[in-house]
Amino acid sequence: MPEALILKTSTVAGSIEGDKPSLHVAYIDDADAQFIAEATEIPESDPTLAEVLVHTGKISQLVPLSAEQFSQDGTASQIAQSVSRALVKRADQAYLAQVAPTPPAVHPPAGLINIDGLTEGNDLVGDLDSLVDLIAELEAEGSTPSHIIVDRPKATTSSGISTPSSISSPNSKPKAPRLRTSSSTRSAGHRSANSKPAPPITPASWAQAPPTPSPCCSRCPSS
């Protein structure tokens, strides 16, 4: 399942078998480098050698089928695709948000947002400044952020704040996009750079005489 988020955004440190094994992964805390004068003895560095214990878990799905069902054309491929989607979805959920087990239990392992010691940024409200600040903070700590994982798109209110309650249902009809402009910039046709802003168009004036577009360049057809 190469499309699984855990395989796209993590480092594969080893291959293990079983439903609840653990893996010791070695890592090194870098020692500081320094300037040294020519022909001077270079002092030895002593990087900290350590390891982290990574607990794993097994995700599975069993779909019982009758011989008659399985013999139908397309059944095997459709079931295989369904199982693959289910496993990827559950693996992604566990990778990001699995609740930490109650000690002394260690399985299933906690998701990223439930691991202690993570560097957290502020909520995104109106702009991406908090995200930029978080990336800068991570880089200052020696990290190299490689992925940005976002939640599913949410509808936006007039104030620019995402609200889950404003998401339309799958069965609702999509609404046409609306372009918000001020009354001084509304125009029914083209306008040249030197022309004055057209007055706001009211229903009454539109009913009397629709405005005639004026050519703004050589490519626009004149009336």
Q: State yes or no: pLDDT of 8 exceeds 50.
A: yes
Model confidence at 85, in pLDDT bands (50, 70, 90)?
very high
| pTM to 2 decimal places | 0.57
Whole-number pLDDT of residue 200? 47
Residues whose CB is less than 8 angstroms from the CB of residue 88 and which lie 6 or more positions away in sequence, other chains included? 1, 3, 4, 5
pLDDT surpassing 50 at residue 124: yes
Average pLDDT over every residue of 63-73: 90
pLDDT at 164: 43
* Nearest-angstrom CA–CA distance, 184 and 186: 6
DSSP assignment of 35-100: ---TT-PPPPP-PEEEEEEEE-----------HHHHTSTTHHHHHHHHHHHHHHHHHHHHHHHPPP
134-183 pLDDT, tens per residue?
999 999 988 888 888 877 655 444 444 444 433 333 344 444 434 333 33
pLDDT score at 167: 36
Which of 117, 77, 111, 114 has its CA nearest to residue 96? 111
In one letter, which amino acid is 52?
V
Q: What is the pLDDT of residues 192-210, one digit of tens each?
A: 444 444 444 444 444 444 4
More confident residue, 54 or 206: 54
